[in-house]
Amino acid sequence: DPAAPVDPAEADDFLRACYAENPRLGPVEPRLAIVRAQIAATGTYVHTPEELGHGAKMAWRNSSRCIGRLYWRSLVVLDRRRARTAEEIFSLLVRHLQVAGGAAPMSRLDATAGPPVERPPGTIRPVISVFAPAVPGRPHASVWNDQLVRYAGYVTEQGRRIGDPRNLAFTRAMEALGWKGKGEAFDILPLAIETPHEGVQLFDLPERAVLEVPVAHPEYGWFAELGIRWHAVPAISNMRLSIGGINYPLAPFNGWYMGTEIGSRNLADADRYDLVPLVARLMRLDTTSESTLWRDRALVEINRAVLWSFERAGVKISDHHTESARFMAHLRNEEKAGRQVPADWSWIVPPLSGGATPVFHRYYHEADLKPNFYLDAPARARAAGCPVAH
């Protein structure tokens, strides 16, 4: 219940873990006393920047569904707790995408992102922007979109689908709020930012915020002509970050893509871009029987195209074999650190060639450890196009 006062036991647990893992923060006892007093007096407390930073990293480390956790220590945490207006939030989300490296080079970016190193665009960095915490019982700012960059979905009068069908309802909700897309296959949706005082407002992402990669295939020339593209930065924007009893309802985060997310799901699922039958036809595969494995063959080529195109464009991406090997390394690291790794098999195992990855061949510890990220029902409903969910 985000309206309830902070649970002092949860604050305690978090602070003890945080300070134990970071000896440079000093002894935890004095801090515990302050926090207990703050909670008793106000129902909540305020994280220091160090607590916020480490708490966010712990939340990533505890994300059972994430295969990419090896680099959890490297998360760039942008403290945006003071932003209030939709304008402010919007410009900080644009910054987020830039710091993540999906666009302008680092040198043009703000100091909280670390030293301004000159980097080519495409060197994606894991970043989280943490906005104001929820105050018990009061409304809070939120972004309706489930990811910062998403493509619109349309149905023509003839019933033909254009764009990403996943976002059909959300696109309609944006249209109801006055937005108008070009009606093409890869129209970037506006950000719908809602604040307690301003209601919901739409913002178009500027070009400098969105790096995209045209998808071509190393061998099949016709692939490029399909006009497929995908954006470089997957940034989930509707999950609540929960640290030590404090909830951050707006805390968008991103990593880099694992190729299968694009090649085996976004471009391939029948209720997404559904490219498998088309690519199979263009590959001239025998589709008269499932047992020719035409689906599997087309799927592998779509995935090859994605990886090859990102690499050619110099945009960071990783394949599922590499990311699986990294996750195995993460399991070893964490075991050495004396921590269990909560993991959800069905999310960790990649959707392509599952059995060929080492992560397939074992069981995992299933647990809901905090800090963590949570998707609340209203947030899910808003991203699904429901404009009245709260």
List residues binding ligand HEM (CB under 6 A): 60, 63, 65-68, 71, 75, 126, 128, 253, 255-256, 258, 261, 318, 323, 347, 373
295 binds a second copy (CB under 8 A): yes
Mind giving me the DSSP string for 78-107? EEETT--SHHHHHHHHHHHHHHHTSSS-GG
DSSP 310-370: HHHTT--EE-HHHHHHHHHHHHHHHHHTT---B--HHHHS-SSSGGGSGGGGS--B----S
Structure tokens at 14: 């978090």
214 binds a second copy (CB under 8 A): no
Is 349 one of the binding residues for a second copy (CB under 8 A)? yes
How far is Cα 171 from Cα 247, in angstroms, rounded to an integer?
28
| Active-site annotation holds for 208 | no
158 binds a second copy (CB under 8 A): no
Residue 334, contacted partner among ligand HEM, a second copy, none, CB below 5-8 A by kind: none
Binding mask 223-262 for a second copy (x = CB under 8 A): ------------------------------------xx--
Structure tokens at 21: 């893992």
Amino acid identity of residue 375, one-letter, is L
What is the distance of C-alpha 186 from the center of its chain?
19
Q: Does the bond joining 120 to the residue before it have cis omega, within 30 degrees of 0? A: no
> Which of ligand HEM, a second copy, none sits in contact with 71, Cβ below 5 to 8 A by type?
ligand HEM
Taking the CA atoms of residue 63, residue 67, residue 71 and residue 76 in that order, the dihedral angle to the nearest 10 degrees is: -50
386 in active site: no
Q: Does 309 bind a second copy (CB under 8 A)?
A: no
**With CB cut-offs between 5 and 8 Å by kind, which of a second copy, ligand HEM, none does residue 355 bind?**
a second copy
Say whether residue 179 binds a second copy (CB under 8 A): no
Binding mask 316-345 for a second copy (x = CB under 8 A): --xx-xx----------------------x
Backbone angles phi, psi at 241, to 5 degrees: -95, 125
Q: HSE on the CB side for 305, CA within 13 Å?
A: 31
Sheet of strand 191-195: strand arrangement: 142-143, 191-195, 199-203
In 10 A of CB 156, how many CB atoms? 9
Instruction: Kindly name the residue from 18, 51, 66, 194 that is annotated as catalytic.
Output: 66
361 binds, among ligand HEM, a second copy, none (CB under 5 to 8 A by kind): a second copy
CB of 27 to ligand HEM, least distance (A): 28
To the query of whether residue 161 is one of the catalytic residues in this protein, the response is: no
18 labelled catalytic: no
List, by residue number, the catalytic residues.
66, 69, 256, 261
Residues making contact with a second copy (CB under 8 A): 259-260, 264-265, 268-269, 276, 290-293, 295-297, 299-300, 303-304, 307-308, 311, 318-319, 321-322, 345-346, 349-356, 360-361
